[in-house]
Structure 1
Amino acid sequence: MGFFTVLFCLLVGAVSLGYYFIKQRLSYWKRRGIPHDEPVFPAGNLQDHPKKKHMREISSEHYHKYKGTGPFGGFFFFLSPAVMLYDLDLIRDVLIKDFNNFTDRGMFHNEKDDPLTANLLGLDGAKWRQLRNKLSPTFTSGRMKFMFPTVVSVGERLLEKFELMAEQDSILEMKDILVRFTVDVIGTCAFGLECNSLNDPNAEFRRMGANASTLKRHSKMVNGFIFSFPQLARQLRMRQIHDDIHEFFIRVVRETVEYRKKNSIKRNDFMNLLIELRNEDGGLTIEQIAAQTFMFFLAGFETSSTTMGFTLFELALNQDIQDKLRDEINTCIEKHNGEFTYECMTEMTYMEKVVKESLRKYPLVTNLVRRAIDDYPTSNPKYTIPKGTMVLIPADAIHHDPEIYPDPEKYDPERFSPEETQSRHPLAWLPFGDGPRHCIGLRFGKMQTYIGLVTLLRNYRFYYCDKTPNPLVMNKKHTLLCSEGGIYLRVERIN
């Protein structure tokens, strides 16, 4: 038998094995009799993402199509079989009651070759628990109260910039100015640095924040491989973060740590806590500190600015809600002798309803992800979640389920009155997840969102105009939920 004949036979054998493997993977739910949409190689059920549909649309269609057929349905993330949960009691068990079997997200992280991925969002198991316990003291209400004046001072700079812009044009684009506000807040609180993006939209932190969300290292197919086989990708020493992003954050953190050490600088901020952890026995490395600040920066600036943008959009369309919220803001501040204090902020109950309704209608993370550590049986033996399977919780679809929230497209903060909240399942609102792995920065995000909204609504009215997109069109390519293009509103100074 000649060399080329042997080579041909080996090639045919390899192709046959590959074909068999793919066919077995993509027939996984069919063989188990679990309802699902037919997957397409190589994207699974993501063939329309991101060119035609955002992930929220794909999961919403799946949820409404198969809800009621069982506690979950089958789904394919590229070549990886996954389950999408429909039953709120099962979601509660996964996130809270039986959390120990679902501690992991199963996301790609590579501490050695791609250190920024080894952050609290990406880590699993014992490493995640250890880091979560160390970082939790940063986000207590006491720490938020201490940071409150710092965020308010950035809010004052936001108002100064806003006034200059409003003098030049009564129609303003809200997304950009709000992102610049939150970049400056996070830069100050996480790095102790003046990012100056309110004055300079091309400031380095602003550019790097935008690039970190959009600059991809790999093609969709390679990213799909990393997502489907994170352990194999790690063994192959693959990386996900773009070199420019990696080098910027490592450099900024190294310079900040060295400067603070040299000048004996201590601040009650996120960076200071990480430096203290570095000084402990077996403490954090520079790369580990960079990974956590990278996570805090990305998770903090974009989520809060987008929530504020969606809220102002809805308030412009619902003037009665805007007036009621402004009345509460003014009443609370008058009660505190004209000063906007931390205690004043915590008394704004209608503000809480408004922001909660914004996060219901526009949850930034449209699907929560967990991974089963062991086989997980449900009340129906057919519906066992197999070991290692990715679990998707469609938060956006739940938030728009008319059986849970009647007339779900209507913007109504009274959905979050004590009576309405009490009447719903406790897992029917999931913008921050729930259970031990819920969003650690919840308090901080809430604080900077409230401060931004109070600062603007005390001084300006917001109106719909000809340039206001209605309805909003969502960016299909972005991981988080955000609008395509700007949110233009007409603004009017309050004397």
Structure 2
Amino acid sequence: MQNIYNQLPRERYVGFYGFHRPLLLIRDPELIRHVLIKDFGTFHDRGLFIDDEEPLNKHLFFLAGKKWRQLRIKLSPTFTSGKLKGMFKTIQDCGQEMVDVIGEMVDRGESVEVRELIARFTTDVISSVAFGQECNCQRNPEHEFRQWGRKIFEPSWQAAIAFVLNFVSPTLMEYLRIKGGRSDVSKYFQQMVADTVAYREKNNFRRKDFMDLLIQLKKQGIQLSMDDLAAQAFVFFGAGFETSSTATSFTLHELALNPDIQSKLHDEIDAVLKENGGKISYDAIRKMTYLDKVVSESLRKHPPAAVLNRECNQDYKIPDSDVILEKGTAIVLSVLGLHHDPTHFPDPDRFNPERFSEEAKAKRHPYVYLPFGEGPRICIGMRMGLLQTKVGLTNILSKYSVQTTQKTVANLDYHPRSPILMAKSGIHLRFVKRF
């Protein structure tokens, strides 16, 4: 998609084919605004094939139409500021545990594959705040939650073919019914959710977490089967741990390659924590404006979701043109293309957090930066993901510097069979105690 985006730099949109299916890649930010917000009613669905034989596919990301809208409204309260503040202690406890684990690695003189380290931290967070399960994957990397998490996003030919086919030809996908190789993961989550719900209902057990919200929705008469509950829990788990661990590890990679930026971030973290009595709190994280710029720039350079897609649900005339899109036409946005377009982000391969100063943002079209999507279908867990990422980074950088090693690959290659952006070689760094 990025290659197609780059081929015709002066065009507002580019048509191409996925087998016999016509697709339209949109490059123009104003037209992107129409698709994601202004004319959302025409483009509210993703147009993907949803295999009804796979129960875990009935989640918010895949759902369409009325069912998506109803569920979105009901699940949105999970991520209010009040709820995030309530989760903060759990997130911070997991962050502190991660720093302790890093300390032991440093004492043993080990360099670290950072993505796996961070994934264990985010898995601990999600398993606790979503399911009330204390896994401690950081001390027990082979815990079943971590093993299933690895399987969800493990790059494989089967998963890659299923992902691409669903994107370019849902009709062929429906005909072939290629599985993404995740049926064992599906069975585990269905059983785990069924057991959790049964235990809580039998013992009238309440805990302010995501599972509790789902159980309460079911009690309120919202039509949610056990498969529906399992599907929402599954996507919360998968998206919640993987995208945050990817974002955090890419950020650490960029900081190791840019020690001047890392030094400036160290200064901000030190100053805010000193002001806060050395304590990492929800409000302290919110005061770290340079940290926010650093994370934003990392998400620009390495957006976990490199592509967004929509489907036109009625004939639609493209504004300021004579082109009529027929009902059923697939729409594609290349997030990677937009984020690396020198028109919007000069010298796009350079890591520069100042692109996200208020002045720089004000000069730029708002729809050229889409790490979480935008509009009514913007990532529901965006704030949770950012908070996890910032807590992880603050814990690490308050105690350590990150440096490159002989294994560090400066110009990362992305894994060709991964549905989310993942470094093919891993991210290898060294932690050095600061004090």
What range is the shorter-chain TM-score in?
Answer: over 0.9
Gaps of 5+ in 2: none
Q: What TM-score do you get using the length of structure 1 for normalisation?
A: 0.84
- Contact 1:107/1:123, CA 8 A, preserved across alignment: no
Q: Are positions 1:80 and 2:21 aligned together?
A: yes
* Distance change >3 Å, CA 282–CA 237, structure 1 → 2: farther
Identity %: 41
- Contact 1:72/1:383, CA 8 A, preserved across alignment: no
How far 1:241 sits from its partner (Å)?
Answer: 5.9
Letter in 2 for 1:62: I
- Contact 1:325/1:351, CA 8 A, preserved across alignment: yes
The residue number in structure 1 matching 2:4 is 62
The residue number in structure 1 matching 2:30 is 89
Rounded Cα–Cα distance in structure 2 between residues aligned with 1:244 and 1:482: 23
Indicate the SS of the match to 1:183: helix
How far 1:304 sits from its partner (Å)?
Answer: 0.6
Aligned positions of 1:352-371 closer than 5 A = 352-371=292-311
Determine which of 182, 194, 197 is the counterpart of 1:242.
182
Q: Are positions 1:445 and 2:385 aligned together?
A: yes
* Distance change >3 Å, CA 341–CA 228, structure 1 → 2: same
Q: Are positions 1:309 and 2:249 aligned together?
A: yes
Range 482-491 or range 422-431, more displaced: 482-491
**Which deviations, in whole Å up to 9, do the C-alpha atoms of 1:305-336 show, x marking residues without a partner?**
11111111111111111111111112112222
The residue number in structure 2 matching 1:154 is 94
Rounded Cα–Cα distance in structure 1 between residues aligned with 2:236 and 2:16: 30
Determine which of 83, 100, 124 is the counterpart of 2:41.
100
Cα RMSD after superposing both structures: 2.0
Rounded Cα–Cα distance in structure 1 between residues aligned with 2:425 and 2:110: 19
Range 260-269 or range 373-382, more displaced: 373-382
Rounded Cα–Cα distance in structure 1 between residues aligned with 2:15 and 2:54: 32
How far 1:156 sits from its partner (Å)?
Answer: 1.4
Rounded Cα–Cα distance in structure 2 between residues aligned with 1:181 and 1:194: 12
- Contact 1:316/1:463, CA 8 A, preserved across alignment: yes
The residue number in structure 2 matching 1:32 is none
The residue number in structure 1 matching 2:211 is 271
The residue number in structure 2 matching 1:187 is 127
Gaps of 5+ in 1: 1-58
**Which deviations, in whole Å up to 9, do the C-alpha atoms of 1:137-177 show, x marking residues without a partner?**
10111111110111101111111111111111242221111
Q: What TM-score do you get using the length of structure 2 for normalisation?
A: 0.95
- Contact 2:88/2:282, CA 8 A, preserved across alignment: yes
* Distance change >3 Å, CA 451–CA 140, structure 1 → 2: same
* Distance change >3 Å, CA 73–CA 200, structure 1 → 2: same
**Which deviations, in whole Å up to 9, do the C-alpha atoms of 1:264-315 show, x marking residues without a partner?**
2211111110110111224422111110011111111111111111111111
Indicate the SS of the match to 1:159: helix
The residue number in structure 2 matching 1:9 is none
Rounded Cα–Cα distance in structure 1 between residues aligned with 2:329 and 2:305: 20
* Distance change >3 Å, CA 237–CA 199, structure 1 → 2: same
* Distance change >3 Å, CA 171–CA 235, structure 1 → 2: closer
Indicate the SS of the match to 1:247: helix
Rounded Cα–Cα distance in structure 2 between residues aligned with 1:410 and 1:217: 32
The residue number in structure 1 matching 2:140 is 200
Rounded Cα–Cα distance in structure 2 between residues aligned with 1:430 and 1:224: 21
**Which deviations, in whole Å up to 9, do the C-alpha atoms of 1:206-260 show, x marking residues without a partner?**
1111111237695866766655554786699876563201110001101111122
- Contact 1:250/1:287, CA 8 A, preserved across alignment: yes
Determine which of 115, 118, 143 is the counterpart of 1:178.
118
How far 1:77 sits from its partner (Å)?
Answer: 2.8
Letter in 2 for 1:301: F
Indicate the SS of the match to 1:447: helix
Rounded Cα–Cα distance in structure 2 between residues aligned with 1:219 and 1:327: 43
Rounded Cα–Cα distance in structure 1 between residues aligned with 2:412 and 2:172: 39
**Taking CA–CA contacts closer than 8 Å with sequence separation of 6 or more, which of the two structures ends up with the larger relative contact order?**
2
* Distance change >3 Å, CA 464–CA 97, structure 1 → 2: same
Letter in 2 for 1:383: V
Indicate the SS of the match to 1:427: helix
Indicate the SS of the match to 1:482: coil
* Distance change >3 Å, CA 287–CA 134, structure 1 → 2: same
* Distance change >3 Å, CA 215–CA 429, structure 1 → 2: closer
- Contact 1:215/1:242, CA 8 A, preserved across alignment: no
* Distance change >3 Å, CA 342–CA 224, structure 1 → 2: closer
The residue number in structure 2 matching 1:454 is 394
- Residues matched between the structures, number: 435
* Distance change >3 Å, CA 160–CA 320, structure 1 → 2: same
Rounded Cα–Cα distance in structure 2 between residues aligned with 1:365 and 1:309: 15
Rounded Cα–Cα distance in structure 2 between residues aligned with 1:279 and 1:410: 51
Indicate the SS of the match to 2:429: strand
Rounded Cα–Cα distance in structure 2 between residues aligned with 1:189 and 1:441: 13
Range 237-246 or range 206-215, more displaced: 237-246
How far 1:337 sits from its partner (Å)?
Answer: 2.3
Rounded Cα–Cα distance in structure 2 between residues aligned with 1:234 and 1:406: 42
Indicate the SS of the match to 1:462: strand
**Which deviations, in whole Å up to 9, do the C-alpha atoms of 1:3-37 show, x marking residues without a partner?**
xxxxxxxxxxxxxxxxxxxxxxxxxxxxxxxxxxx
Aligned positions of 1:229-378 closer than 5 A = 230=170, 240=180, 242-378=182-318
The residue number in structure 1 matching 2:424 is 484
The residue number in structure 1 matching 2:73 is 133
The residue number in structure 2 matching 1:44 is none
Determine which of 210, 214, 218 is the counterpart of 2:150.
210
Rounded Cα–Cα distance in structure 2 between residues aligned with 1:286 and 1:87: 42
Rounded Cα–Cα distance in structure 2 between residues aligned with 1:326 and 1:95: 37
**Which deviations, in whole Å up to 9, do the C-alpha atoms of 1:38-70 show, x marking residues without a partner?**
xxxxxxxxxxxxxxxxxxxxx12211112323x
Letter in 1 for 2:27: Y
Rounded Cα–Cα distance in structure 2 between residues aligned with 1:360 and 1:377: 31
